Chain A
């Protein structure tokens, strides 16, 4: 597509439920990133996919968080047993050249855990 597409744009869920967030990167972009942005804060790195290489999961905050990406296509970020501290905007970005170069971000998914 022309840009990075994320869905849903907003998600309200009850504490303890699982949620799945989706990111559709720009076609041909080999690198895909997930970030979390809490209210009034900067971006917190979660996970990085580069082509068919093993993903860098070093930013995932707990084992409740997982992400998948098939090849160079869509990625899903799953949060199990959501907690109130998971409330944030989850941003996805893709890049044609990997780290160190400009990212194109999606508009994010605003997750609210009640």
Chain B
């Protein structure tokens, strides 16, 4: 069982559509991070959310941290082919002193 559950696992949409992907846990996290990973590359950090209820925007991407700090969402407006990739959420897990990652949402945006 994943500590961080991401949904959907796969998402294929047309250019210009909007989408939301989710990251959920039964545990409380002090912060959550979102990464995007393209084929053959390592994940690249997009954002860190640290306050319950926080909303951060990066151009067409909107990130929200749940009030209880157990979940987060990523909303993309007017998706573009360049948004294609694996979106991973991650949070610090103190017991093991490491960052735990979800399995990711693999997004494909078709032109």
Contact = CB atoms under 8 A, between A and B. Distances in A.
Do A and B actually bind?
A: yes
A41 B6 CA distance: 11
A22 to B, nearest CB: 15
B104 A42 contact: yes
Contacts, number: 61
SS class, residues of chain A in contact with chain B:
loop
B45 A42 contact: no
Given A42-B88, A43-B88, A100-B92, A105 B42 contact: yes
A8 interface: no
Interface string A40-77: 01110100100000001011000000000000000000
Give chain A's interface residue range (CB within 8 Å of chain B): 20 to 34
Contacts of A107: 40-42
Give chain B's interface residue range (CB within 8 Å of chain A): 20 to 34
Contacts of B33: 102
A56 B93 CA distance: 13
Contact of B42 (A41, A56, A91, A101): A91
A105 B44 contact: yes
Q: Counting chain B CB atoms within 10 Å of each CB, which of A35, A45, A56, A102 scores highest?
A: A102
Interface of B: 2, 6, 30-31, 33, 35, 40-45, 48, 88, 90, 92, 94, 96-104
Given A43-B101, A48-B97, A100-B30, 8 more contacts: A4-B42, A35-B101, A42-B6, A48-B98, A59-B96, A100-B99, A103-B43, A105-B44
